[in-house]
Structure 1
Amino acid sequence: MSAFTSLRPSLGLARTAAQASRGFSSSASRSVARMIITGRLAAEPELQATASGQDVLRYAVGTSYGSKDNRQTSWFRVASFLPEGAQRDFIMSLPKGTLVYLEGDASMRTYEDADGKKHSALNIVQRSLEVLSRPPPTEEQ
């Protein structure tokens, strides 16, 4: 029992030192909501310009769950601010129905429409995107 008692004070100091070191960060403190979505592209991604002239790649990903008789689908709108280059061109070339794995930062936005009705929207900004499988070719392609 004396060995246990002699270790206790040193454990307390170690715990205090660990807590103190966790409190330091060189980056600003902020909350982050990260989402991971595995689903299919609703349509081919589109390149649009923002009001400030910055290019934004927009697309939607659909996820489904439930049995065939009671299938539910959720749609997620995604924005990507990739610069011109191979990555952006690759994403723009993906056809509707491509199965993707997406990681992104999420935020909620509330707004009022022209009729005064309040709406909420989930905004997702792409961090990374991986293609899991492409849809089978159709006769049109």
Structure 2
Amino acid sequence: MSFLARRLTAATPRVLGASRAFSASARRDIAKITLVGNLAATPELKATSTGREIIEYAVASSHGPRENRQTSWFRVATFVEEGPRRDYLTSLPKGSTVFVEGDAVMNTYTDAEGKTKSALSIYQKNLEVLRRGTSSE
């Protein structure tokens, strides 16, 4: 057995239900996601049923060789209070390249035809603009 394998084995908790040795924080059942892609359109400000305002936008991320390129689309939502941050986000033009960190939640619902569907909801925690798109105005 190699030195590294012995160290990893020795450091692994052997008791079921043992606390996580690598973290002092409480366990959270939430998935994190990181996206890099282009805005599909300018982010939109919308009102929720509770009267709170939310910003929604879509990020397109492409992968694969040029002749077989595939694009995945991700819908992102965020709550940003009124002010300069919200104004900046809602002014980003289509095509801007963004880096998004957020929480990912899988929701299951029944559509109008009675079929069970799933949708991935992404709630933005951090956004960095890597390249601002050109405005078509």
Secondary structure of 1:89's counterpart equals helix
- TM-score when normalising by structure 2: 0.80
Letter in 2 for 1:113: D
SS at match of 2:88: helix
Deviation at 1:118, TM superposition (A): 1.2
**What's the TM-score, normalizing by structure 1?**
0.78
Q: Runs ≥4 in structure 1, deviation > 4 angstroms?
A: 19-27
On the 8 A contact 2:99/2:127 being kept in 1, the answer is yes
Checking the alignment, whether the CA contact within 8 Å between 2:41 and 2:95 is kept in structure 1 is: yes
2:63/2:71 contact within 8 Å kept: yes
Please give the secondary structure, in 2, of the residue aligned with 1:94: coil
> Which residue among 23, 37, 40 is the counterpart of 2:38?
40
Q: Is 1:113–2:111 an aligned residue pair?
A: yes
Q: Which residue of 1 aligns with 2:78?
A: 80
1:68-123: CA deviations, max 9, x gaps? 21110000000001111111110000000000000000010010011101110000
Give unpaired runs (5+ residues) of structure 1: 1-11
Larger radius of gyration: 1
1:24, CA displacement in angstroms? 8.7
What is the alpha-carbon distance in structure 1 between the residues aligned to residue 23 and residue 71 of structure 2? 43
Whole-Å Cα distance in 2 between the matches of residues 95 and 72 of structure 1? 22
Give the fraction of aligned pairs with identical amino acids, expressed as a percent. 49
1:66 to 61, 64, 68: 64
For structure 2, the residue ranges without an aligned partner over 5 or more in a row are: 1-9
Specify whether residues 75 and 26 from structure 1 end up closer, same or farther in structure 2 by C-alpha distance, changes over 3 A only.
Answer: closer
CA distance in 1, matches of 2:34, 2:40: 17
Letter in 1 for 2:103: D
The one-letter code of the counterpart of 1:63 is: S
SS state of the match for residue 69, structure 1? helix
